[in-house]
Amino acid sequence: MVNNIIEAWYWIFLLAALVAAGIYYSIFSIRNLWAILKEQRKSGQSAEFDEKISEPYSKRIVIIHWLTVLLLIVGWYLGDMLADARNGNGATLAGYYAHALVGGTVLALTLLRWTFRSVDGAPPAGHTLMDLAARGVHHALYVLLVLLAITGFMTALTSGVGPALLKADASLLPLKYTGPAAFPHLAHEILMNVLIAVVIVHILGALMHQFILKDGLMRRMSLRRKC
């Protein structure tokens, strides 16, 4: 009975998150496409934007960015280790505690970054199709980080991981994710693979700006500031 209630709430929560993400992206895409159409009526981007393309984010946003990158690498490594350990019946509470702590911290940092971005603002952005694609990648990263945390939490909640962590009893750790926990665990793994792909696209875009366009865009994420 309890598992059925948890599973029902999980589906409701996941569906609501997906609908909200869909609405958000629809509004975002329409708004930016309209901005592009308006921009196309002009002769091109202003010199003011060209001069400010390397204007940095606030220091706290930059710090959160690099902390998130570091924690994502650690979280991916821990998750991979846990998968191998489960196959060999060697998963430990410490591994799950560490993975959960990293995931929760990434979620908290993502929410903080949203908050600081609304307070501190962001460097000016262009209105070309490439700029629109870049903003789409950034928003996709945010959504993926939140959904990763949600599916990770639901995996723990619907499996033996949650009780094992609460009771500090390693014997309750599952060897496989079955029943209500099967779907959130599968979704968690798929989302992680999608995140890796989006991160690769993000890195390639940054490298293109740095070495091909040479517009200094990567300085936005540097802690060094011009005097």
Read off the pLDDT of residues 134-193 as tens digits, 9 standing for 90 and up.
888 888 999 999 999 999 999 999 999 999 999 999 999 998 999 889 999 999 999 999
Cβ(59)–Cβ(148) under 8 Å? no
pLDDT in tens, 94-142: 999 999 999 999 999 999 999 999 999 888 776 667 777 888 888 899 9
Q: What is the pTM of this model?
A: 0.78
- Tell me the CATH number of domain 2-9+57-221, given options 1.20.950, 1.10.3470, 3.40.50, 2.20.25: 1.20.950
Q: Mean pLDDT lowest for which of 79-88, 146-155, 159-168, 197-206?
A: 79-88
Chain length of the chain: 227
Within 10 Å of residue 15's Cβ, how many Cβ atoms? 10
Task: For residue 170, give the 3-state DSSP assignment.
Answer: helix
Average pLDDT estimate for 71-100: 92
